[in-house]
């Protein structure tokens, strides 16, 4: 049984935090930003992936990603 259910789409979650993250898919909230170009993302992981695939790939730059929230 997954006790936390989204009021907008009825998707259920086992953890309240997962429901909270899911809600950004409905609200469009993107609190995490790339410190290099300013592009915003809904999840911290997406920023890290963006930096690795866009900035590190283009420049060969490889440093620990700094996340701005």
Q: Show the domain range for 59.
A: 32-68
Q: In the predicted model, is pLDDT for residue 62 greater than 90?
A: no
The pTM score is 0.65
> 33: part of which helix (H) or strand (E)?
strand 32-34
Asked if 33 and 39 count as a contact pair (C-beta separation under 8 A), the reply is yes
List the CATH number of the domain containing 9.
Answer: 3.30.160.60
48 and 23 both lie in a single domain: no
36 and 57 both lie in a single domain: yes
44 and 19 both lie in a single domain: no
Structure tokens at 2: 């997954």
**Residues 16-38: tens digit of each pLDDT:** 999 998 998 999 999 999 999 99
């Amino acid at each position: 049984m997954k006790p936390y259910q989204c009021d907008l789409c009825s998707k259920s979650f086992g953890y309240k935090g997962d429901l909270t993250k899911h809600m950004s898919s409905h609200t469009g909230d993107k609190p995490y930003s790339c410190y290099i170009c300013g592009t915003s993302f809904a999840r911290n992981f997406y920023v890290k992936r963006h930096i690795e695939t866009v900035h590190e790939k283009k420049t060969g730059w490889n440093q620990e990603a700094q996340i701005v929230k």
